[in-house]
């Protein structure tokens, strides 16, 4: 056992057949962050000691070590079968021990834990009953449902009185209540969280309150937390989660507080990445779009911001907040400012209003995020009728949808400079420019429904 190259500590308790300790290998975490752990073994130790990996020294018989790269070793009687139980805590070793006792204390063998885990997963997966089709199709569905159930991660722990509390990765303090982490909203706001609110409204309601608590603790709504805020990707999609939850009847959070937090998010830039606050917000507010090449991934940001502003508008309208209705409503159609009627694509536009040179709709990167113009033209979730009108009506819109699947699956790597895995996945799928392996275009096959050709959505999504 070791803490790799970061700060770590271990303590061996031979009489109790136990090791406790902590590791702190993260970068950018709040002061005081430690991942405490405890391990219980069902066999006695025949030898033990500690070591460190700076000078690769070993101290036999030592029971305790703390510092950079510290570790522990133990030995057992040759040939003996050993079982170990482990639990961790971001709060304390005592909490790790409590969690282990609550979750694994009654299990004498690994098989007992495995059986209980199987029952938990089956209970979860049977919330959706799939009938018909082949067993292979059912296996695919439940495999996907399983993966959709892994994140976000519950970051709270249960104390001795059965109450939730957590170590905040945002301010380094222990708070009462719920906290969640390990998710990036750019990846999950489109489908994962709308699924969560339908399947687990109670837990989702706790998540919405946790979003606002995180904002209070670090000054910003989360966008990409692992476990603290990283600010990765583009957009301010916490407001999408909050507005969707409110629209579906969850009342676990203060909408005024949510709107205040989003207004701050939309009109400032934070220190932690492009989605921490709003990259290019001054241009977006003044000229109606984010300019490129002045701001990287600018066209994608314009499209995401316009949708986010719609979400803010919708929440404000639902709670009769005229101030924020007017503020966000003025900007939610900004997507039109980057639509080029000559090419029928969303395009890069510089600060002076000029379209970018040498436009290639299959070129990745540049003004787009993990995609190209074929992928991003559809990113108008909140005003599909408006997009249909820009393209020229239902027939032309559906014809453009058809073209996604029929044009060659050519890749221009653009500013990426090499084939990223999303490009490779699109080529392997061999469905034209449809890139199901990444988020920007995954909703596109369903858009036929908005243009009076729903059978094509059925055809494409049924494959």
pLDDT score at 28: 59
pLDDT at 15 over 70: yes
The answer to which of 110-124, 125-139, 430-444 has the lowest mean pLDDT is 125-139
Residue 7: predicted pLDDT: 85
pLDDT tier at 151, thresholds 50, 70, 90: confident
State the average pLDDT for the chain: 95
Residue that wins the pLDDT comparison between 332 and 1 = 332
**Which residue did the predictor score with more confidence, 191 or 2?**
191
What percentage of the chain reaches a pLDDT higher than 90? Answer: 92
What would the pLDDT profile of 414-451 be if each residue is shown by its tens digit?
999 999 999 999 999 999 999 999 999 999 999 999 99
Ordered by start, the domain boundaries in the chain are 7-105
pLDDT exceeds 50 at position 2: no
305-319 pLDDT, tens digit per residue, is: 999 999 999 999 999
pLDDT, position 5: 61
What is the pLDDT at residue 30? 66
Q: What value does the mean pLDDT take over residues 178-202?
A: 95
User: Which band of pLDDT confidence, cut at 50, 70 and 90, is reported for residue 27?
Assistant: low
Q: According to the model, what pLDDT value does residue 24 have? A: 86
Indicate whether 226 pLDDT > 60: yes
Q: Distance between CA atoms of 406 and 423, rounded to whole angstroms?
A: 17
């Amino acid at each position: 056992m070791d803490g790799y190259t970061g700060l770590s500590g271990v303590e061996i308790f031979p009489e109790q057949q136990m090791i406790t300790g902590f590791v702190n290998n993260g970068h950018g975490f709040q002061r005081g962050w430690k991942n405490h752990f405890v391990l219980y073994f069902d066999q006695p130790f025949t030898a033990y000691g500690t070591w460190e990996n700076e000078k690769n020294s070993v101290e036999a018989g030592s029971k305790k070590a703390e510092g950079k790269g510290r570790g522990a070793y133990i030995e057992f009687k040759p040939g003996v079968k050993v079982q170990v139980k482990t639990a961790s805590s971001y709060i304390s070793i005592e909490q790790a021990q409590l969690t282990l006792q609550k979750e694994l204390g009654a299990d004498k063998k690994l098989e007992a834990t495995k059986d209980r885990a199987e029952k938990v997963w089956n209970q979860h997966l049977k919330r959706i009953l799939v009938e018909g089709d082949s067993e292979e199709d059912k296996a695919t569905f439940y495999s996907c449902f399983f993966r959709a159930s892994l994140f976000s991660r519950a970051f709270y722990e249960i104390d001795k009185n059965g109450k939730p509390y957590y170590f905040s990765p945002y301010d380094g303090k222990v708070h009462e209540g719920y906290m969640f982490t390990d998710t990036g909203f750019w990846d999950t706001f489109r489908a994962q969280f709308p699924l969560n609110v339908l399947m687990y409204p109670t837990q989702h309601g706790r998540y919405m309150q946790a979003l606002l608590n995180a904002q209070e603790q670090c000054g910003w709504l989360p966008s990409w937390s692992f476990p603290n805020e990283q600010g990765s990707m583009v957009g301010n999609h916490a407001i999408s989660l909050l507005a969707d939850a409110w629209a579906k009847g969850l009342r676990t959070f203060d909408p005024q507080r949510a709107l205040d937090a989003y207004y701050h998010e939309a009109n400032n830039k934070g220190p932690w990445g492009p989605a921490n606050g709003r990259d290019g917000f001054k241009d977006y507010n003044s000229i109606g779009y984010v300019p490129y090449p002045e701001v990287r991934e600018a066209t994608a940001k314009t499209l995401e911001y316009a949708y986010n502003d719609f979400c803010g508008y919708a929440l404000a309208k639902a709670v009769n907040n005229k101030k924020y209705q007017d503020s966000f409503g003025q900007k939610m159609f900004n997507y039109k400012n980057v639509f080029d009627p000559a090419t029928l694509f969303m395009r890069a536009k510089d600060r002076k209003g000029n379209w970018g040179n040498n436009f290639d709709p299959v070129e990745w990167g540049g003004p787009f995020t993990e995609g190209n113009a074929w992928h991003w033209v559809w990113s108008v979730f909140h005003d599909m009728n408006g997009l249909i009108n820009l393209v020229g009506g239902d027939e032309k819109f559906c014809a453009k949808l058809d073209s996604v699947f029929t044009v060659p699956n050519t890749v221009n790597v653009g500013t990426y400079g090499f084939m990223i895995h999303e490009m490779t996945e699109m080529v392997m799928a061999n469905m034209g420019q449809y890139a199901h392996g990444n988020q920007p275009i995954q909703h596109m096959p369903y858009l036929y429904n908005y243009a009076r050709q729903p059978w094509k959505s059925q055809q494409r999504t049924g494959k």
